[in-house]
Structure 1
Amino acid sequence: MINNVVIAGRLTRDADQQFTGSGIEVANLSLAVERPFKSANGEREVDFINVVAWRKTAEIIRKYTRKGSMIGITGRIQTRNYTNNEGRKVYITEVVAEQVQLLGNKNEREDVQSNSQGNQSESRGTTPEDAFDGDSSIDISDEDLPF
């Protein structure tokens, strides 16, 4: 069975960051995603997609995004339900983010990083660009290729 979702859009608000009782970071966010066609009146319609991210993915969203940030999400659709105070069953469908891609420019991400809450007490950490240390060469042998 296949359950795979890829979406790109803008955050409608800063992500809601929380921690579980066992200290696992979780982020709840909403992405505004334009439809690829115009409506009958010539305007683009927008879908608002609820997304939940866990652990390192949630941390990246906390550190490098804010309302209006353009991001790409790869994940899966999940449906859950609960009974509300009125005794009615409520169903929630959301995307569980497994990977996040920061689509804004580098200056936008640096601005978010320098203005993030609690940045003064927390170490700066590494940015996605730091992971490559400026070396763009990759050593791959023919044996590593799947074809």
Structure 2
Amino acid sequence: MTKLHNDLLRDIGTLARTIHYLHDLHFKELALQRGQFIFLTRICENTGINQNDLSLLLKVDKSTTAKAVQKLTAAGYINRQRSSEDQRHWQLFPTEKALLLYDQIITEENTCLQLCLQNFKASERKELNRLFKKMCANLETHWQKTKGQKQRIEVQ
């Protein structure tokens, strides 16, 4: 039987699920459904982003983004407008309601980050951030290649 080389990815998964669970509990009080805060923050941070680019940024499929955008639009958090450059794309803009909520979301994320990094030295925090960015960069190339292959398969 093949043995796992180390538990790093399992630990990252556990950490991610725990953080999402805590965020979902907090954001439920703000009338956001599960995981919607991720879409909302990226739209606030990238005003005018189109749905396709939002999917690529978050590494989710287009249908997941479409559902989240539909729910956020219905809840009055974002407005969709046809792109003047490409009529096939919808640009996404946060509403005033979303911008007010954005500050609360970032405050919650910062609180969770402080909990995760308590007892870490400043140098350890900096190194951890550098290492995670390096891991993401390592996977980005593979993800792009895989995503490209998937798109070619869907077109045929």
Report if TM-score (shorter chain) is over 0.5: no
Q: Which has the higher contact order (CA 8 A, sep 6+)?
A: 1
**Higher fraction of helix:** 2
What is the TM-score when the length of structure 2 is the normalising length? 0.22
**Higher fraction of strand:** 1
